[in-house]
């Protein structure tokens, strides 16, 4: 689906104090950027920012970064943050393929992947954020015990992701094909805009949690 261009999005993003410019220059210095030594969590493909904003509100002692390539959706997250003005939430308008340029190994403790683009054609599978290419990147960035959490309503993508994870350096910690029906996993679950929409249609939400070993 082609994204609708939002007039003024590029200017708003470039002018916002909550959007980091030249993130490669901040590599290894994110504690200085946030002006504290709190753990750093990253959402890749943050969309309009509902999930990350609620995360940052509920966990003020964690610093959150949202990475999003598309200006037309990122700008909505920027607008939400400009109203909330949370001290622990910043954004990057960047491509996920470049994340190793922005962070030192071990600098990120937790990665969230919510309703990522399924890239359904086989020739595009290297672009899937839960594929082996990206899992190798996460493995290099996360410390021992670091976590990757993934949610999707696309069962084909989920099955692919689970197979890739089982052949990766990560330990498969938790698997659910119906997150919302699980009384333990659903407790405290923060829904994204997509999740609310898909759930309202009766689509089960799949959930995968990976942990990096020692």
Active site residues: 117
Strands of the sheet with 40-44, listed across from one edge: 89-92, 63-67, 40-44, 110-114, 147-152, 206-212, 170-176
Containing 33, the helix (H) or strand (E) segment is helix 30-34
The residue among 197, 214, 202 whose CA lies nearest residue 50 is: 197
**H or E segment and range at residue 4:** none
- Kindly report the number of other CB atoms within 10 A of residue 199's CB atom: 15
Phi, psi angle pair for 189, to nearest 5°? -65, 130
b/e code 119-157 from CB counts within 10 Å (16+ = b): beeeeebebbbbbeebbebbbebbeeebbbbbbbbbeeb
Measured from the Cβ of residue 159, the count of other Cβ atoms closer than 10 Å reads 12
CB atoms near residue 8 (< 10 Å): 10
């Amino acid at each position: 689906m082609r994204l609708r261009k939002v007039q003024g999005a590029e200017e708003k993003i470039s002018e916002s104090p909550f959007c980091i410019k030249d993130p490669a220059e901040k590599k290894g210095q994110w504690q200085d950027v946030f002006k504290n030594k709190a753990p750093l969590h990253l959402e890749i493909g943050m969309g309009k920012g509902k999930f990350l904003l609620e995360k940052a509100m509920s966990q003020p002692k964690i610093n959150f970064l949202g990475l999003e390539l598309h200006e037309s959706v990122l700008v909505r997250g920027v607008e939400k943050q400009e109203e909330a003005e949370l001290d622990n939430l910043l954004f990057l308008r960047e491509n996920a393929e470049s994340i190793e340029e922005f962070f030192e190994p071990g600098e990120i403790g937790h990665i969230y992947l919510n309703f990522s683009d399924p890239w359904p054609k086989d020739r595009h599978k290297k672009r899937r954020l839960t594929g082996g290419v990206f899992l190798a990147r996460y493995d290099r960035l996360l410390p021992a015990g670091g976590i990757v959490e993934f949610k999707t309503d696309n069962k084909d993508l989920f099955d692919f992701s689970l197979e890739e994870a089982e052949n990766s350096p990560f330990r498969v910690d938790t698997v659910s094909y119906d997150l919302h029906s699980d009384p333990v996993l659903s407790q405290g679950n923060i829904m994204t805009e997509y999740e609310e929409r898909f759930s309202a249609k009766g689509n089960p939400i799949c959930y995968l949690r990976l942990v990096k070993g020692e």
